Structure 1
Amino acid sequence: MTLGNLLTVDQILPEMKSTERWSAIVELVDLLVAQKQVKPADRDIVLGALRQREETMSTGIGFGIAIPHASSDRVDKVVAAFGRSMTGIEFDSLDNAPVKFIVLFVVPKDQFQTHLRTLAAIAKFLNDRNVRERLGTAVSAGEILSIFENDGAGKP
């Protein structure tokens, strides 16, 4: 499984509306609900898990990247969404820089190894400056998805 396998064109927002961390997380979770990756009845529980993780420490890891993530018994497979903001989102990142790329994912509860592998694969993939530059200039969700697919995007 690669990150390209976790995303579809419909789970990618080429330009997010949000300008701050919490609204960005809500925007991506609402996208997962709209795409039937998270049940509407489970939305608030999944958001709560993400908020709890985010309050421990911001998932803004620097270089314009944030990887909000959580585990939940409300999903039975890894679900993910990608959002891009050309203007940048205030995310309380480690380097205090605005975030341009957000990969949000939720892993089924008790799949600790899957959680760690997914997080590591995303971080490693986005750590590549060339990948970030290409994601920044991609003009559509389809083009963004092809970057995730064709570059391997790490194997969780």
Structure 2
Amino acid sequence: MNIVSLLSERRVIPEMSAGTRDEVLDEMVSHLVAAGDLSVTSHGIVVEALAAREERVSTGIGHGVAIPHCYSDSLNESVALFGRSRRGIDFNACDNAVVHFFVLLVVPQNQPNSHLQTLAGIARLFSQHAVREKMTEASTASDLLRSLEQCESELD
């Protein structure tokens, strides 16, 4: 499954206000709650699951990219959100670089392996310097989504 199929303009944050890893997780989940994609009651549970995942091993995959992800029993289908921080955030990435691009993925508890191909696709997409450059240049949620769609179609 490609990432663009899981996104919409309401699932894109063109400029995140968070300054720390925990703030990133909270901001992204709060955005999904405000958009109606996650329930208010699941907010704390999802943030806690994401933080626990980050404590085990950082999802900062290098090149300024992180893919925080977790399972939730309150979902019937996967939900994603793309966020960008121009200043960059320390996310304990494998290359020790700050992270500028975040792709949050929350997967239904009863579909434990459904996200693996999506994670691999996101990693492959953002391993391309040209993709990261386009994401840096885009200014609005619409521009970011359009650029992601174009980059994904070029890789297929």
Which range, TM-score by smaller chain? over 0.9
Q: CA deviation at 1:11?
A: 1.0
1:127 is matched with which residue? 127
Structure 2: gaps of 5 or more residues: none
| Deviation digits for residues 39-77 of structure 1 (CA, Å, limit 9, x no counterpart) | 001111111211111110111111000100011111111
Structure 1: gaps of 5 or more residues: none
1:67 is matched with which residue? 67
TM-score scaled by length of structure 1: 0.94
1:77 is matched with which residue? 77
Letter in 1 for 2:122: I
Structure 1 ranges of 4+ moved more than 6 A: none
Alignment of 1:3-82 (within 5 A): 3-82=3-82
| Deviation digits for residues 111-133 of structure 1 (CA, Å, limit 9, x no counterpart) | 23212111111111111110000
Q: Distance in 2 between matches of 1:44 and 1:68?
A: 15
Aligned length: 155
Report which structure shows greater RCO (CA 8 Å, sep ≥6).
1
Q: Distance in 1 between matches of 2:42 and 2:124?
A: 30
Instruction: Give the percent of matched residue pairs that are identical in Structure 1 and Structure 2.
Output: 42
Q: CA deviation at 1:19?
A: 1.4
TM-score scaled by length of structure 2: 0.94
Q: Distance in 1 between matches of 2:3 and 2:147?
A: 10
* Secondary structure at 1:152 match in 2: helix
